[in-house]
Structure formats: structure tokens, C-alpha cells
């Protein structure tokens, strides 16, 4: 058997993807609609000698996975809005200390406790800006159960490559729906880079726009890891303007300067498109239906799906949509990634939002009606 | 004249000295007792990792030549839980303070104690927030002054050792910086206990606590600690009124029970053939 | 061709399981595409319960059901609650012991629904001897009346989904369900 087919939920696919990517550690806190991921990991991890811990809250969950990452393991947690808010503090710590972690957010109706069992995409800007300070982040948005599996693996690989938190920004619908997934025999997995031990080892001596190999605790490197601004030795250096500038600039640049390598965009019917429906995550399935219906009516409408939302693929989108006059952005919120699309494409096209909150997915008709509006 | 290097200097990151602690601070005494305890116990220094949160005491691991994780405020025990569970072979020492462990990190403290995870926690309690310049803490004595308690604290302070014991720690002891030998012995016992060990050290902060409460010199502060110290034995026969403002020292509990990471490993052994050590440094594996 | 299916009943009847078995049969054993979704609100814990399945020969973009062409109702409350958006000439498969058909006669007439009866609960209780397999009896009736999934795929999917040791019982329930379904109009 070269590949395996399963009929599973999105949450299950995320858990399977994590295990396939080499994850051996999960710490989390139960929250609808992501709880199934924790349940599956609690069942599976002990079988492979891995560890599952139900922590006292989501702050502790991210703390624990960062600790385990520094013990040399691939780690993940899963949550939804309220838990994602609590995680922001230690997400910033992972950014600053360049700790690879994966966070899966099954977004639900919000603010606050909101709608635990309904869908939303309203944490997209929190994902981008939620922890304090200047930083850049990587976020993937699955729109199918297969993508829940694929993107979780990709998130682990990117986390190792760029040594940063990577987010799988899914939603209640994709988390709870069931579809067939195919698990290929060979899946590329990025292992952690081991440093070469030298006399004068410098744990944070990173190249421009890049990162360094990461040792783990107990290997004899005797490194100091701190959320304070630190120099190449990893030692606090909080009063030196240049040390801070260089560190934070590099942490941002290692993502933004590698945008082309990180991001993936899917497009269809784009060449002659006058109007493009640009979406990410679950609404892209309504969008594709609407675009196909519009094409059947002879309209020149194209489709773009952002597989990666952060870093935002500005140049790639400007290129892809250079002939379009209208860009329509359906989102399960009142306008978040739309703002970024407008910033990037607003000068070359009219960017229009189709907001939707309340828990349901845009119907294809809602998107088609907007296409037909002009 | 040849100067003899202090015998514990070999454990320090010399390139980071001088340290940031104020003259007369209790943190130096505690660091000394930690090294002393490591040498007295059967702990291999090279196998130690340290974790801390935010605050003066949390800066201690940064000066020690071992792997050290200086984390976010109050969260040291959460990070340490992940670090220890992922590689139970390490000896993990957590250094924290009264604000870090009982205010912002109180929830993590009780849960780490409940799990009885094998961490040796040294909580340096100076009754005040030193790093931020002298604010009130959950252990500040009733009536004591701080920059955020200009009319005196109105609250009953925590006895942290009592909390750790009630939450399930298998080893708890409490002493003051005036009792360095007892601290060393307690840390040694904590290192040797396979479980959650909590050593509270009540320490002087002449810079902020002393200044705000008119106990200005470090010597005066140490004397103040001594005068207010009673043993657990003495406390048994004292009334609540008599105990107000007193530091009750001694071994609160020494009762080993099943440790957290061992319990997890037991499950793995029960349900699979996998050796629980398999995954140490597994992130480096390429498939 | 895209077919939208809704199955509704009350919590504990195995309605969700029935939807999962249908979608799994279509996608893993009939080589079609299928998506299964369900209501997750507090209503899933007692009260009306609902699952929806889209089955198609082509890749399914929009995953939700808008106007079901097949509606299976195993409780009157669920039937009344979820029937409004049913398509014209849709198949309505009901357990007549749990549904007051006369109360929806207007919709049946107006939308020209094709009504099928399956006394799934009674059959499960009396013929099979286990009330819990009513959902699999209903599945047999579903396969027989709609032909959306093949009999073989449905059986494989049942065997893939039910607890070990209950295979024979469930196969018997499935076959009974195929037998007892009746077209009413």
C-alpha cells in the first residue's frame, strides 16, 4: 500500500498531521471546537512514547510546549478564540527566543466566549498582532479536511525551518466536518538543525534574514534562553539600542524577506479575470462555487485562495491580479484580511468586502450576487 | 598576592559578572546555598537545567553555567513542566519569587504541586516587588509599606510553604536567609526527592522593603528576620495573634508519592512496546 | 451530480452515525466525493439532532446543504424544525411511528415530495431485538429508497464504523431496513 485513505474530521486530520510531522508533545486546555485534537493526542502520544499534558490553562499550555521544544521535541497545542487570547503572552516569548512551536486555532464566533459551536475567521488579525511588540508570523488557513492534515505538517516544517511559532488558522466548520483524506507514503519532514559544537559557541549568531541551528537542553551547550533582548551569546542586553534593533529586525526579516519561499497561493480562471474573488480558509469553497457559476454565465471572474495568510504575499498578489478591476474578499468576520488586501491591491483595483458573522458560511449565492452587483 | 577564586565560581558565567543584585540582597546567599546543596547531594551539575520567571530572583539562573530558561512572568513552572516531561532525565531547578510564584503564577504553582512533578523549586520571598521598585506583594506582612501600599497593606499575607503543601507538594521547607545551612540542607533534600519540592526562602530586600519599612541596613534586616522567626514546633502552641507577622520555619512536609513523569512513563509501558526514552531530542530525527 | 442529504432525529438515535456511514460509504467505498457536517450546538445533547451529507461525482466545493433532495426524519420535532428548505420532488424518508405525517401534508403536496416509510425503531426493537440499531435499519431503508450509495459500499462502511462484535447485528439491521421500506405516494 503506497497511500492510505481515511474518512475523518478536520480536527482528527490536524492531530494525524501533527503525529506524521514528528510531534511527540502536546500540552493544551479543553476548548470547543478544538477539543477533539487534544483528545486524540492524549490517546495517541503515549503509544509512541510521547507526552500529553492537560495544563491548568492556555498560558501554561504554550509555556509547556516551549519548554518541551527546548528539550528537543516537536510540539503543538490546539485552541480556539478565548484560549488563543491567553496564549498571546507566551507566543511573544516563542518569537523572541526563536522557539519552534505549532498552534492550531479552530476559530469560533467571538469576541469573548461568543459562539463556541459556530464558525468564524475573526482571529486573523490577533494571529498577526496579538502579542505585544513588532514581530512577523506565519499562518496557514486550511479549507478542507485534507488541508488540515497537509497544512499541519507544513506548519511543523516551517516552524523548524524559521524557528518561530506557526499557526494553523482553521475554523469550526473545517474542524468538525468529515471528508476523505489521503495520507501519502512519503511526506517531506524538516528535522531540527543541530548546531556544531565549538569552543566559543554563540547560540544567537544568526545570518542576516535567517536563524541559527537550535541546541536542546541537556546536550551540553549551556545556553541561556531569555525573552529579554539578548545578544549573540543569548545574554540579556536590554540597554543597547543596536542590539535590540538588530535582533528584532532580524526576527521580522527572517519571515518577511523569505515571503516568496514561505507562501503558497492557489488560483484559477485568473488570466482574463476582470473580477477576482480572493479568500482563504473555508469561505474559499463557497467562493470557488460562485466563481464557477459566474464563469458559466460567461463572466470573466477569477479565484484566488491564500493557503498562507501571514506573511502577506503582497507582491505575488499584485502580480496575479494585475489585470483585475475588482477584488472581492469574503471573510467570516467584519473585515480583517480585507484591510490587508485593500492596502496591497487598493491602488490597482477596487477591493470589496463580503463580511459575514453569526456562524454560518457564505452561500455561493451571496458571493455570486456580489459579483453580479456591478 | 594571589587571590583565591571562590570555590563556586566555576559554576558561574564569569563573563556576565558583575551581577545586577543590590548590595545586601538575599539572592546571593541563596545562590550560594544552591551550589552548596548541589555539591552535598548526589546531583551532577552538568545534568542541571534551570528555569525562572520574572523578578530579581528569576535573574539567578542567567548567572549559572547550565542550560537556563528565563521565561515570562509567573510562568516558570509551566515551562519547567514541559521541559521536565519531555526529558525527565534532566534535574530541573526552578528559581522564582513571591510575586512570580504566588501572584501572577499562583495557578501554575498549585497545579505543579498537585502533579508532584519532579522539580526543585526555590522561591525567594522578599515580601515585595523588587525589580519594579518596591510594590506590595501577596506575602507582604499586614501593615507593611510599599510604593503601592502607602498607607500600609490591609491584606493577610500568604504563607507560601503552606500553600505548596496543601496543593500536594511532596517536599516543602521554609527558612530565612539567616539560616543558610538549613536552606542548603532543604535544597539538598529537595534535589533528592523524586517529586515536587518547594523550598521557600524568606529573604531581605534592604533596597525596597527595608527602605519602605524603616529597616534600612542589610544587617538590620537579617536581625529583623531572626527576631520574627519561629519554628513549626513553636508555632503549634501559639495563637493567631501571636503568629501575626511571624515567619514559621522548618520542614512542612516530606512525604514522597508517585511522581508525574514516572506515572506518564508507566502508561506508555502499559500500552506500548516503546521505550519512554525514545523521544528525547526526537526533533532532530529526519523520519 | 450533487445530492444534498439531511438526516434528523433526537439525540441518542444515532442520527450522526448514520450520516457518517453514508458519507464514508460514498467517499471510501463508492469512489465518489462526500462531505459530512453536523449541528454541534447544545441541541446536540438531547433535543433535535441533525447531520447533513453532500454526495457528488465531482469535487465538492461548497460543503454545506442548502436545499436537501433527501430528508430522513426520525423524530417529529426534528422534521418540523428542519423541513422548510427541502427541495421540490425531494425524497422524504420517515419513521411513521415517530412522525405525524398529517401535520406536514401541506408541504408534501405543495413540494410534491416522494414519501417513504420505514418503521426503523419498531423493527430494531422487535425484529432485531436492539433499539440501538434503529439508525442502521434506517440506513438500509435509505439505500433501498434512494440508491445514492451502493449496497456493498454501505455494508463496508457499516462494518468499518460499528464497534467490534456488533457486525452481525448491524448487518441484520441493515438488511431488515432494506426490506421494510415502503413507498407511500
- Report residue A201 as a C-alpha cell: 559557541
| Residue of chain A whose alpha carbon sits nearest to that of B111 | A56
Between CA C179 and CA C173 the distance in angstroms is: 10
CB-CB under 8 Å, B89 with A46: no
Is C101 within 8 Å of chain A by CB?
no
Domain with residue B161: its CATH number is: 3.40.50.970
Which chain B residues are closer than 8 Å to A51 by Cβ?
85-86, 264, 279
Q: Roughly how many angstroms between the first and final C-alpha of chain B, as a whole number?
A: 59
CB-CB under 8 Å, A176 with C37: yes
The answer regarding whether domain A4-183 maps to CATH 3.40.50.970 reads yes
Instruction: Give the minimum alpha-carbon distance from C45 to chain A in angstroms, rounded to a whole number.
Output: 13
Is B61 within 8 Å of chain A by CB?
yes
Question: What percentage of residues in chain B have a pLDDT greater than 70?
Answer: 99
Confidence of residue C41 (pLDDT cuts 50, 70, 90): low
Write a three-state SS string for chain B.
Answer: CCCCCCCCHHHECHHHCCCCCCCCCCHHHHHHHHHHHHHHCCCCHHHEEEEECCCCHHHHHHHECCEEEECCCCCHHHHHHHHHHHCCCCEEEEEEEHHHHHHHCHHHHHHHHHHCCCEEEEEEECCEECCCCCEECCCCCCCCCECCECCCCCCCCCCHHHHHHHHCCCEEEEEECCCHHHHHHHHHHHHHCCCCEEEEEECCCHHHHHHHCCCCCHHHHHHHHHHCEEEHHHHCCCCHHHHCCCEEEEEEEECCCCCHHHHHHHHHHHHCCCCHHHHCCHHHCCC
Q: What is the ipTM of this complex?
A: 0.96
CB-CB under 8 Å, A222 with B49: no
Contact B87, A75 (CB under 8 A): no
Which chain A residues are closer than 8 Å to B287 by Cβ?
22, 189, 191
Is A133 within 8 Å of chain B by CB?
no
Confidence of residue B277 (pLDDT cuts 50, 70, 90): confident
Provide the domain limits for residue C119. 2-183
Interface of A with C in 277-306 (CB under 8 A): 282, 285-286, 288-289, 292
Q: For residue B285, tell me if it sits in a domain.
A: no
Interior/surface letters A19-34, b for 16+ CB within 10 angstroms, e for the rest? bbbbbbbbbbbebbbb
Domain with residue C29: its CATH number is: 3.40.920.10
Question: What percentage of residues in chain C have a pLDDT greater than 70?
Answer: 97
Look at the domain A264-372 and name its fold. Answer: Rossmann fold (3.40.50)
**What pLDDT is recorded for position B287?**
66
**What pLDDT is recorded for position A198?**
74
Say if residue C121's pLDDT is above 70: yes
pLDDT, tens digit, 9 for 90 and up, residues B139-157: 999 999 999 999 999 999 9
**What pLDDT is recorded for position A262?**
98
**What pLDDT is recorded for position A2?**
67
CB–CB contacts below 8 A, A to C: 61
Closest CA to A255 of A213, A209, A214, A313: A209
Interface test with A, best of C21, C23, C61 (most A CBs within 10 A): C61
Say if residue C46's pLDDT is above 70: no
**What pLDDT is recorded for position C47?**
75
**What pLDDT is recorded for position B286?**
81
Peptide bond into C139 cis (omega under 30): no
Is C100 within 8 Å of chain A by CB?
no
pLDDT, tens digit, 9 for 90 and up, residues B32-77: 999 999 999 989 999 999 999 999 999 999 999 999 999 999 999 9
**What pLDDT is recorded for position B82?**
98
Mean pLDDT by 10 residues, chain A (374 residues): 88 98 98 97 97 98 98 98 98 98 98 96 98 98 98 98 98 98 95 88 94 96 97 96 98 98 98 97 98 98 98 97 97 98 98 98 98 91
Tally the domains of chain C.
1
Between CA A265 and CA A208 the distance in angstroms is: 26
Chains that touch A (3 or more CB pairs under 8 A): B, C
3-state SS class at C77: helix
The full set of domain ranges for chain A reads 4-183, 264-372
Interior/surface letters A154-169, b for 16+ CB within 10 angstroms, e for the rest? bbbbbbbbbbbbbbbb
Provide the domain limits for residue B239. 16-260
CB-CB under 8 Å, C34 with A33: no
Q: For residue B265, tell me if it sits in a domain.
A: no
pLDDT, tens digit, 9 for 90 and up, residues B109-135: 999 999 999 999 999 999 999 999 999
**What pLDDT is recorded for position C45?**
59
Q: For residue B117, tell me if it sits in a domain.
A: yes
Confidence of residue C44 (pLDDT cuts 50, 70, 90): low
3-state SS class at C29: helix
> Across the interface, which of A178, A360, A363 has its CB nearest the CB of C36?
A178
CB-CB under 8 Å, B78 with A64: yes
Between CA C138 and CA C125 the distance in angstroms is: 13
- The number of helices, as runs of H, and strands, as runs of E, in chain C is 7, 7
| Residue of chain C whose alpha carbon sits nearest to that of A179 | C35
Instruction: Give the minimum alpha-carbon distance from B186 to chain A in angstroms, rounded to a whole number.
Output: 25
CB-CB under 8 Å, B13 with A224: yes
Which chain C residues are closer than 8 Å to A363 by Cβ?
62, 64, 66
Between CA A73 and CA B285 the distance in angstroms is: 10
Interface test with C, best of A109, A180, A364 (most C CBs within 10 A): A180
Tally the domains of chain B.
1
Amino acid at each position: 500500500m503506497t497511500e492510505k485513505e481515511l474518512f475523518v474530521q478536520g480536527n482528527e486530520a490536524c492531530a494525524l498531521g501533527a503525529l506524521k510531522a514528528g510531534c511527540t508533545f502536546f500540552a493544551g486546555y479543553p476548548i470547543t471546537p478544538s477539543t477533539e485534537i487534544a483528545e486524540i493526542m492524549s490517546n495517541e502520544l503515549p503509544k509512541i512514547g510521547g507526552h500529553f499534558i492537560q495544563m491548568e490553562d492556555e498560558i501554561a499550555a504554550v509555556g509547556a510546549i516551549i519548554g518541551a521544544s527546548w528539550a528537543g521535541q516537536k510540539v503543538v497545542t490546539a485552541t480556539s478564540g478565548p484560549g488563543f487570547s491567553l496564549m498571546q503572552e507566551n507566543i511573544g516569548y516563542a518569537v523572541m527566543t526563536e522557539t519552534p512551536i505549532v498552534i492550531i486555532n479552530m476559530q469560533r464566533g467571538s469576541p469573548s466566549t461568543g459562539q463556541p459551536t459556530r464558525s468564524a475567521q475573526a482571529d486573523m488579525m490577533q494571529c498577526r498582532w496579538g502579542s505585544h511588540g513588532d514581530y512577523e508570523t506565519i499562518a496557514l488557513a486550511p479549507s478542507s479536511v485534507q488541508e488540515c492534515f497537509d497544512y499541519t505538517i507544513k506548519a511543523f516544517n516551517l516552524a523548524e525551518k524559521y524557528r518561530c511559532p506557526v499557526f494553523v488558522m482553521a475554523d469550526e466548520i473545517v474542524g468538525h466536518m468529515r471528508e476523505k483524506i489521503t495520507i501519502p507514503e512519503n511526506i517531506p519532514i524538516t528535522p531540527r538543525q543541530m548546531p556544531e559544537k565549538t569552543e566559543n559557541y554563540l547560540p544567537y549568531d544568526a545570518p542576516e534574514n535567517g536563524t541559527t541551528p537550535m541546541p536542546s537542553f541537556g546536550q551540553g551547550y549551556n545556553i541561556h534562553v531569555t525573552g529579554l533582548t539578548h545578544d549573540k551569546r543569548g545574554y540579556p542586553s536590554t540597554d543597547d539600542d543596536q542590539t535590540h534593533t538588530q535582533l528584532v529586525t532580524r526576527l521580522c526579516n527572517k519571515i518577511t524577506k523569505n515571503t516568496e519561499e514561505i507562501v503558497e497561493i492557489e488560483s484559477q480562471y485568473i488570466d482574463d479575470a476582470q473580477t477576482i474573488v480572493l479568500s482563504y480558509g473555508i469561505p474559499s469553497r463557497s467562493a470557488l462555487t460562485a466563481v464557477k457559476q459566474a464563469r458559466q454565465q460567461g463572466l470573466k471572474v477569477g479565484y484566488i485562495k491564500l493557503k498562507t495568510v501571514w506573511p502577506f504575499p503582497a507582491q505575488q498578489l499584485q502580480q496575479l491580479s494585475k489585470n483585475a478591476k475588482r477584488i472581492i474578499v469574503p471573510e467570516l468576520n467584519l473585515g480583517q484580511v480585507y484591510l490587508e488586501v485593500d492596502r496591497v491591491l487598493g491602488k490597482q483595483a477596487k477591493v470589496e468586502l463580503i463580511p459575514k458573522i453569526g456562524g454560518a458560511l457564505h452561500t455561493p449565492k451571496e458571493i455570486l450576487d456580489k459579483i453580479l452587483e456591478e | 598576592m594571589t587571590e583565591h577564586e571562590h570555590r563556586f565560581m566555576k559554576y558561574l558565567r564569569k563573563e556576565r559578572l558583575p551581577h545586577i543584585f543590590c548590595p545586601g540582597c538575599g539572592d546571593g546567599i541563596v545562590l550560594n546555598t544552591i551550589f552548596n546543596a548541589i555539591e552535598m547531594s548526589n546531583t551532577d551539575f552538568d545534568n542541571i537545567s534551570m528555569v525562572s520567571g520574572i523578578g530579581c530572583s528569576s535573574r539567578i539562573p542567567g548567572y549559572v553555567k547550565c542550560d537556563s530558561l528565563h521565561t515570562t512572568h509567573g510562568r516558570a513552572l509551566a515551562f519547567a513542566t514541559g521541559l521536565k516531561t519531555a526529558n525527565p532525565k534532566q534535574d530541573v531547578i526552578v528559581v522564582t519569587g513571591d510575586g512570580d510564584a504566588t501572584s501572577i503564577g499562583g495557578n501554575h504553582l498549585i497545579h505543579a504541586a498537585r502533579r508532584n512533578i519532579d522539580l526543585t523549586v526555590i522561591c525567594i520571598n522578599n515580601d515585595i516587588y523588587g525589580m519594579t521598585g518596591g510594590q506590595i506583594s501577596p506575602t507582604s506582612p499586614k501593615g507593611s509599606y510599599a510604593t503601592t501600599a502607602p498607607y500600609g497593606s490591609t491584606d493577610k499575607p500568604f504563607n507560601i510553604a503552606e500553600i505548596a503543601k496543601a496543593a500536594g507538594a511532596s517536599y516543602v521547607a521554609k527558612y530565612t536567609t539567616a539560616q543558610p545551612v538549613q536552606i542548603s540542607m532543604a535544597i539538598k533534600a529537595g534535589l533528592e526527592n523524586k517529586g515536587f519540592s518547594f523550598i521557600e526562602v524568606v529573604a531581605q530586600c534592604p533596597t525596597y522593603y527595608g527602605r519602605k519599612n524603616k529597616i534600612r541596613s542589610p544587617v538590620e534586616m537579617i536581625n529583623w528576620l531572626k527576631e520574627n522567626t519561629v519554628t513549626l514546633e513553636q508555632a503549634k502552641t501559639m495563637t493567631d495573634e501571636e503568629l501575626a507577622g511571624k515567619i514559621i520555619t522548618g520542614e512542612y512536609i516530606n512525604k514522597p508519592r508517585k511522581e508525574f513523569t514516572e506515572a506518564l512513563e508507566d502508561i506508555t509501558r502499559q500500552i506500548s512496546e516503546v521505550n519512554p526514552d525514545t523521544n528525547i531530542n526526537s526533533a532532530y530525527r529526519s523520519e | 451530480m450533487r445530492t444534498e442529504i439531511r438526516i434528523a432525529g433526537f439525540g441518542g438515535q444515532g442520527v450522526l452515525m448514520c450520516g457518517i456511514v453514508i458519507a464514508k460509504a460514498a467517499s471510501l467505498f463508492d469512489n465518489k466525493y462526500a462531505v459530512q457536517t453536523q449541528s454541534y450546538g447544545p441541541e446536540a445533547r438531547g433535543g433535535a439532532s441533525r447531520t447533513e451529507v453532500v454526495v457528488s461525482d465531482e469535487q465538492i466545493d461548497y460543503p454545506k446543504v442548502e436545499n436537501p433532495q433527501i430528508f430522513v426524519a426520525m423524530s417529529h420535532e426534528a422534521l418540523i424544525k428542519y423541513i422548510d428548505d427541502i427541495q421540490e420532488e425531494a425524497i422524504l424518508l420517515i419513521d411513521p411511528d415517530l412522525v405525524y405525517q398529517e401535520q406536514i401534508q401541506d408541504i408534501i403536496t405543495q413540494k410534491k415530495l416522494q414519501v417513504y416509510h420505514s418503521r426503523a425503531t419498531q423493527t430494531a426493537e422487535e425484529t432485531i431485538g436492539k433499539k440501538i440499531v434503529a439508525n442502521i435499519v434506517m440506513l438500509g431503508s435509505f439505500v433501498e429508497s434512494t440508491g445514492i450509495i451502493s449496497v456493498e459500499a454501505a455494508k463496508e462502511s457499516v462494518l468499518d464504523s460499528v464497534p467490534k462484535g456488533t457486525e452481525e447485528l448491524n448487518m441484520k439491521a441493515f438488511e431488515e431496513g432494506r426490506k421494510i421500506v415502503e413507498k407511500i405516494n
